Amino acid sequence: MEKRRLGKTGQMVGVLAFGSAAFWNISQGEADEAIDKYVGLGVSHFDVSPMYGQAEVRLGPWMEKHRKDIFLACKTTERSKTRAWESLKRSLDTLRVDGCNLFQFHGVQDIETMNALLSPKGALEMALEARQQGLLQYIGITGHRPFVLMEALNRFDFDTVLFPLNRVLASRRDDYNDFTGLVELAREKDVGTIIIKAVTKRPWKAIPVYTTWYEPFDQQEDIDKSVWYALSQDITTYAMASDLRLWPMIVDAAERFRPLDAQEQETVVREVRQYQPLFSSV
């Protein structure tokens, strides 16, 4: 699997990351089997959050034995210094590790939230102290609003940024879902880019049949086009969808990836214009 440099961190990671939201409610046996399989295929960047059900619990036994093989990316939704410290310590205890590689402020969707975590006694102070203590190496931010994340990158020297990117969003660009400017800014600042929701088709229209927050493309041809479009952008890695049933097709697409030229990108975007974007201003 192709590897790319995760911005100024200098870490080389596969173009697919382990999206552990897929571990929300699975057995330890299922988790162990998935970890062994996908690490063996070259997936070494693990993205995890205490918000992802049983994910930290399921990763713990494996991390205890194989920590050195993994680039571990943790998250918090806490915005104050004190509560962020508590969140980090709980995550490290549950994961059975003494530190993580990347610590991300998760789900920063508005300027007010960003102001809170960047303010005195905000969560950023905790991350800076934890970095000095060797509990983490890099600091990142995640969210769904490009203008919020761009403002964040301009106000602090984040190492990574995580955000949704897919061809359905590209087919209906507006101020709430056009991540073009964010990708360009991240490149200028040498910020590692982690994307999510690359195989999104549309919001669920019926009872969900996958453990994803959206209805995904679930045929190999459509997943090929979606993954190839995403990886043809100037991004580092894609954290795979939150349902293990989709992972074999996503990996298959990534292993056969070839960059799409401008005309091919235009074609695969045009093909999905009939679908409602997951994020938009309307």
Residues facing residue 238 across a β-bridge: 16, 195
pLDDT in tens, the chain (282 residues): 899 999 999 999 999 999 989 888 889 999 999 999 998 898 999 999 988 888 999 999 988 888 888 999 999 999 999 999 999 999 999 999 999 999 999 999 999 999 999 999 999 999 999 999 999 999 999 999 999 999 999 999 999 999 999 999 999 988 888 899 999 999 999 999 999 999 999 999 888 899 999 999 999 999 999 999 999 999 999 999 999 999 999 999 999 999 999 999 999 999 999 999 887 655
pLDDT in tens, 113-140: 999 999 999 999 999 999 999 999 999 9
Question: Which CATH superfamily includes the segment(s) 3-270?
Answer: NADP-dependent oxidoreductase domain (3.20.20.100)
CA-CA distance, 241 to 229, in Å (whole number)?
Answer: 16
Residue with tokens 């104050």: 80
CA-CA distance, 237 to 239, in Å (whole number)?
Answer: 7
pLDDT in tens, 146-168: 999 999 999 999 999 999 999 99
Q: Give the residue from 37, 152, 168 showing the smallest Cα distance to 106.
A: 152
For the chain, where are the alpha helices, taking DSSP H only? Answer: 28-40, 55-66, 81-95, 111-118, 123-132, 146-155, 167-171, 180-189, 220-231, 247-255, 262-270
- Domain borders along the chain are 3-270
